Structure 1
Amino acid sequence: MSDWLIGLIQGAVEGITEFAPVSSTGHLILVGHLLGFEGDRASTFEIIIQLGSILAVVVVFWKRLWSILGVGRPKGQRSLNLLHVILGMAPAVVLGLILHDLIKEKLFGPYPVLISLVIGGLLLLYADRFARRSRSESLDELTYKQAFIIGLFQCLSLWPGFSRSGSTISGGLLVGASRKTAAEFSFILAVPIMIGASGLDFVQSLDVLQKSDIPLFAVGFVTAFVVAMLVIVGFLKLINRIGLAPFAYYRFALAILFYFLVMF
């Protein structure tokens, strides 16, 4: 299969799945396995296209991100601020730095992803069923305690296939955030978390990069950016209507499908 087609397929997979609670990493690993696109080159490619998805978040939420940094935020008015983001990202950052090599060695493969797809799906069902009555209907109503607990849930996403958005949105529902608020906070947390994680992986992968890979990386990056932009806007509307259960059932179906496609 040609590089540009692989870039298009994997870029679309990344853009569609990065912010839905179905695990983009899990999909990229599984689809890459089916396409025969694996190894160091594929890992570096995944880093590049994840940055495309993050750029989409920056574009969609640029006003909110500026506000978090203090630009244009009314003084004395309660609102989401930098401390919320720090508390939300700190647990996963610390644990990720400690376990980075172990995770890369033991959990990046089809079989661990299949297991995490199922367990993550069970978490989605639990959160959807036992979500606390919403106390935080908007981002500006989130407390520091809620942000930190959501950050603890985000640690689950260090297991590829679990889904960063799935774990954080589930955590948000269980601590009393509305579906829309939980999803928006999940997207905002993705910016520093993914830039940091992707940046670290990118530096460690510099020796793999070659000029001949530029077309592949460019197609994947642009595709992931465009598709992610559309998915973010659509997902925020969709989650309020259907909740998390359909995504959980999709994860179960995907795990069964790939079990027979990949493991046999």
Structure 2
Amino acid sequence: MPVELVKKLQINSEDRGGIKVIPFQTCRKIASELGLKPRDVEVTALKNGICPSRYQRNIGTIGIGGQIKLLGSRAAVIGCGGLGGWIIEMLARAGVGEIVMIDPDVFDDNNLNRQLFSTEGNIGKSKALAAAGRVAEVNNAVDTFAQVTFLDENNGRELLEGSSVVIDALDNNRSRRNASIICRELGIPFVHGAIGGMFGQVGVFYPSDRPLWESEDVPDKGVETETGNPPFTPALIASFEVSEAIKILSSAENGLRGELVWFDMADLGSQRIRISRSDEN
């Protein structure tokens, strides 16, 4: 840890409500002066009890130790559309250090109603590349890895290896099955989300869990083929997925495991259902 870096961080920090805080712009300036990565400067600040200002509102919930863990983590998001756009946005703002974004598709005009990164100006352009560009604007301390490709049984290990968590933003159970099997082989927790109309669901599956969609008789699509998806459903379910992912990355307790939480936004109902078999049983 460079002594000069620590001194600069200490000199430029101030007490704000009982927490030593340094403006994130100052962290960027110090990184440039010393030829360091912005993320390394932020981690060093946190390890010395100094919070970069951009994360100040995180600390009361996840603590300085949790923020350090987030910055040192890699999350992979499979799908950069309705769910994936909101997920990637929140991960970047939370300060997850590395984000892998996997999506072979380009934006279509019917994405404009609900996909955060879809604009009138980028129809026909890559979703994964747009996601990486957005993260650079929101938090350029985050390293991005845009993969313009399908994830399948042939490339899945290469795409997901090294991730601390994989987050499902897919729209079909066949791809979901491939992803969850690869996560189990690699020992990576898999955070699941799916949406359809006014309905949504979230679950977390660890390597010893066997989600039911791994069965061949599970339909590939659901009610979304009839209902479509309005703007608010992906935002809500993505929030729950990111919450569960951050619990995993920051080593928090009380996360989901082997269960689905199912939401009906038409009548504000919810239900918690156990849906996986465990290899440990």
TM-score by length of 1: 0.26
Kindly indicate which of the two structures has a greater share of residues assigned to helix.
1
Kindly indicate which of the two structures has a greater share of residues assigned to strand.
2
For CA contacts below 8 A with separation 6 or more, give which structure has more relative contact order.
1
- Highest CA radius of gyration, 1 or 2? 2
TM-score by length of 2: 0.24
